[in-house]
């Protein structure tokens, strides 16, 4: 049986039980435009760890579909959507790593820089305080808005660091 645009995920699972075909799927991948993500959706989507997750989590988080509804959809469209979402998350991760790269000073390391990691809550708390909104409301904000605010904070922090270095050298 050949995989076509009408082949459902259920059909594929029955057809290919025990066969490793994931490497062959690159030939049928066509990127799909995904909607703008909220910060909460980005967090929910970041739980994708397996191929199963790739097929089901984007459909649930972004389209509101349950597993049964996803199982009846054409496999290729579900795969293309899931992989497109995954690639967008990878792009955001690379962007964040490049933007927020920070090399602490020896003094900062000695003071415990690497012991500070507030994770998602730290971001949510900072944005909630900044905008005077609830923590829950932060999850509904567009992801790119959260990124822009974090970048402003980062840039201001880097400026303050450089300014402090210049002032301390002048003394």
Tell me how far apart the alpha carbons of residues 141 and 17 are, in angstroms, rounded to a whole number: 41
Tell me how far apart the alpha carbons of residues 143 and 149 are, in angstroms, rounded to a whole number: 10
pLDDT (tens digit, 9 = 90+) per residue, 75-100? 888 999 999 999 999 999 999 999 99
Q: Determine which helix (DSSP H) or strand (DSSP E) holds 126, and give its type and residue range.
A: helix 119-131
pLDDT (tens digit, 9 = 90+) per residue, 88-138? 999 999 999 999 998 898 998 999 988 888 899 999 999 999 999 999 999
Mean pLDDT of all residues belonging to the chain: 89
Looking at per-residue pLDDT, the higher value among 13 and 147 belongs to 147
Q: For tokens 């049986």, what's the residue?
A: 1
Q: Averaged over 51-79, what is the pLDDT?
A: 92
Q: Is 142 helix (H, G, I), strand (E, B) or coil?
A: strand
Q: Exposed/middle/buried for 11, CB within 10 Å: 0-12, 13-18, 19+?
A: middle
Q: Averaged over 47-52, what is the pLDDT?
A: 90
- State residue 48's pLDDT score: 94
- State residue 75's pLDDT score: 86
């Amino acid at each position: 049986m050949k995989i076509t645009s009408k082949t459902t995920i259920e059909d594929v699972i029955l057809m290919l039980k025990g066969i490793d075909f994931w490497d062959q799927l690159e030939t049928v991948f066509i990127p799909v435009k995904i909607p703008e993500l909220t910060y909460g959706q980005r967090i929910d989507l970041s739980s994708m760890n397996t191929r199963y997750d790739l097929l089901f989590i984007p459909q649930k988080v972004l389209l509101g579909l349950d597993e049964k509804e996803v199982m009846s959809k054409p496999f290729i469209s579900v795969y293309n959507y899931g992989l497109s979402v995954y690639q967008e998350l990878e792009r955001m991760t690379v962007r964040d790593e490049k933007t927020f790269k920070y090399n602490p000073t020896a003094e900062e390391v000695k003071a415990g820089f690497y012991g500070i990691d507030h994770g998602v809550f730290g971001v949510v708390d900072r944005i909630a305080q900044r905008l005077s909104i609830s923590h829950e409301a932060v999850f509904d904000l567009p992801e790119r808005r959260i990124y822009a605010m974090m970048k402003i904070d980062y840039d201001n922090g880097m400026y303050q660091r450089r300014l402090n270095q210049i002032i301390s050298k002048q003394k």
